[in-house]
């Protein structure tokens, strides 16, 4: 049988090939139990792939037609399908969809002689496990199918342990994410749907919006839930230490390296690796990570050979816009495409104000129990306090709200009613208190650059909106009470609210936000 065509741009030395074979060795009986389908209209390539994989011990079937492939995937269970993207008249994309519709656990690898970014990303988003550019070497095929086989082995072991994990957790829905706002629920639903796959996920959003919590949610609802979720903060370590932590090192690689040490990529094998603050990762490490994403190959610092083959699911997070980071050269574009197969954007707390009462009450109950115990009655928020919380800008998002409520829980009296003046909002960068009685935000941005009369009008308008926002919050959005507190008649209050576009029936966002 003819071998697959000549080498791809990803070259493997003889030493590498030997190390890869050793690292990815699987029991012969396990390989013999795996069924592989090859779909390609190039007879030479098809027969070459069959020859290579049969010599590895797999059960292999091949076809040159897309319609025959669809019949095969609908009539039998396949563990791995290796399919050409550009088939006629039935396309490889149609074969991919039919395969995953019939059995979502089948690993599908798309082959293409024209590996454009658009088609490759589309295939990955439709559920392809990976893609294989043509031409490729026999070694490259062996490595890829070896990785896929290892993924199947991990998935089977995970399924065997799922009942045990469920019993230990006492809840099949292992995490609850609080929020009723449409934008947040949309993000959670997307996380739930993608969790069942091995697709790489990139989570974006402002600091404090809960990106790590979403990453944990995805992992705990995935087939890898019984394996480790390993988190790396790419901004927390200098480059040499980050490289050693991720990839491990060999004895003598640098001063103090007195023994071989596996890295976090090896620790996460079979599980999930969470790359937080991705855009802070140095470019040299990004290049090294890209090879792991492509081939699963790990070389420790100071090593001249392949030290491990890993099967890891990648979840990344950043508070920057990833496309902007790629355009400015701080994030490799090819790494971005590999890691952002499924993007999830988390809304800021300002964009989900309807969730603030739910979150505030949850945090108050949680931290009261932690700091005081169940014997003492928990405080309760007044309507005015909840309304006031909804007017805040929450620049630190859910994390800031959580810290404020914990502070409140520590200081509050048992059974008390929390009012706006009881809420301990901290000082901002300018040193001005951010509580209800504060004067911070008296001037709008850049007003001192304006002419006197223009600046005066802007400051007055800014003051009026800020005052009305705090006044209505203090009155619990009762307009009669607000007018009494302000010592003005309701007609004047309504006129001012109309002037600034403030509705009477709902909270307004402070002018700070």
pTM: 0.58
**SS3 letters for 152-203?**
HHHHHHHHHHHHHHHHHHCCCCCCCCCCCCHHHHHHHHHHHHHHCCCCCEEE
Asked whether the predicted pLDDT for residue 430 surpasses 60, the reply is no
pLDDT value of position 425: 75
pLDDT tens column, 72-112: 999 999 999 999 998 888 899 999 999 999 888 899 999 98
CA–CA distance from 113 to each of 40, 68, 110, 131 (Å)?
11, 21, 10, 11
Q: By three-state DSSP, how is residue 504 classified? A: coil
Cβ(286)–Cβ(331) below 8 Å: yes
**The two three-digit tokens of residue 487, written as one number:** 């010592």
pLDDT confidence band for 431 (50 / 70 / 90): very low
pLDDT tens column, 199-243: 999 999 999 999 999 999 999 999 899 899 999 999 888 898 999
pLDDT tens column, 149-194: 888 886 776 566 544 444 444 343 344 588 888 899 999 999 999 9
pLDDT tens column, 361-380: 999 998 998 898 777 889 99
Cβ neighbours for 498, distance < 8 A, ≥ 6 positions apart: none
pLDDT confidence band for 446 (50 / 70 / 90): low
pLDDT value of position 68: 93
Domains of the chain: 14-162 (3.40.50.2300), 176-347 (3.40.50.300), 349-436 (1.10.8.60), 441-513 (1.10.10)
């Amino acid at each position: 049988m003819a071998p697959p065509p000549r080498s791809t741009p990803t070259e493997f030395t003889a030493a590498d090939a030997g190390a890869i074979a050793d690292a990815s060795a699987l029991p012969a009986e396990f390989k013999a139990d795996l069924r592989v389908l090859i779909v390609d209209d190039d007879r030479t390539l098809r027969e070459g792939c069959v020859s290579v994989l049969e010599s590895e011990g797999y059960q292999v079937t091949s076809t040159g037609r897309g319609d025959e492939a669809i019949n095969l995937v609908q009539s039998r269970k396949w563990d791995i399908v290796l399919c050409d993207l550009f088939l006629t008249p039935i396309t490889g994309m149609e074969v991919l969809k039919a395969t995953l519709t019939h059995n979502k656990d089948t690993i599908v690898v798309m082959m293409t002689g024209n590996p454009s970014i658009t088609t490759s990303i589309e295939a990955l988003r439709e559920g392809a496990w990976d893609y294989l550019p043509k031409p490729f070497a026999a070694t490259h095929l062996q490595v890829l199918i070896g990785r896929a086989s290892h993924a199947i082995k991990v998935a089977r072991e995970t399924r065997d342990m799922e009942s045990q994990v469920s019993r230990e957790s006492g809840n099949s829905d292992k995490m609850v994410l609080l929020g009723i706002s449409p934008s947040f629920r949309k993000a959670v639903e997307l996380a739930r749907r993608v969790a069942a796959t091995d697709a790489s996920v990139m989570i974006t959003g402002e600091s404090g919006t809960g990106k790590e919590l979403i990453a944990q949610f995805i992992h705990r609802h995935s087939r890898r839930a019984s394996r480790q979720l390993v988190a790396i903060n790419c901004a927390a370590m200098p480059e040499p230490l980050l490289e050693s932590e991720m990839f491990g090192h060999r004895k003598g690689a640098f001063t103090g390296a007195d023994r071989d040490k596996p890295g976090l990529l090896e620790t996460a094998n079979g599980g999930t690796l969470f790359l937080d603050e991705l855009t802070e990762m140095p470019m040299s490490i990004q290049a090294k990570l890209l090879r792991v994403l492509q081939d699963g190959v790990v070389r420790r610092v100071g090593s001249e050979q392949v030290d491990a083959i890993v099967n890891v699911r990648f979840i990344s997070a950043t508070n920057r816009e990833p496309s902007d980071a790629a355009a400015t050269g701080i994030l490799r574009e090819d790494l971005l495409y590999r890691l952002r197969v499924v993007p999830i954007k988390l809304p800021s707390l300002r964009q989900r104000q309807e969730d603030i009462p739910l979150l505030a009450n949850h945090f108050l109950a949680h931290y009261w129990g932690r700091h005081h115990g169940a014997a003492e009655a928990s405080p309760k928020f007044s309507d005015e306090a909840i309304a006031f919380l909804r007017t805040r800008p929450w620049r630190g998002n859910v994390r800031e709200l959580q810290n404020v409520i914990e502070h409140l829980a520590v200081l509050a009296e048992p059974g008390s009613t929390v009012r706006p003046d009881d809420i301990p909002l901290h000082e901002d960068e300018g040193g001005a208190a951010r509580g209800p009685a504060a004067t911070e935000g008296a001037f709008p941005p850049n007003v001192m650059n304006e002419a006197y009369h223009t600046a005066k009008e802007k400051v007055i308008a800014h003051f009026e909106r800020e005052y009305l926002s705090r006044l209505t919050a203090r009155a619990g959005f009762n307009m009669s009470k607000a007018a009494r507190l302000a010592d003005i008649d309701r007609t004047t209050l309504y006129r001012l609210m109309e002037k600034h576009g403030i509705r009477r029936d709902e909270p307004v966002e402070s002018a700070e936000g």
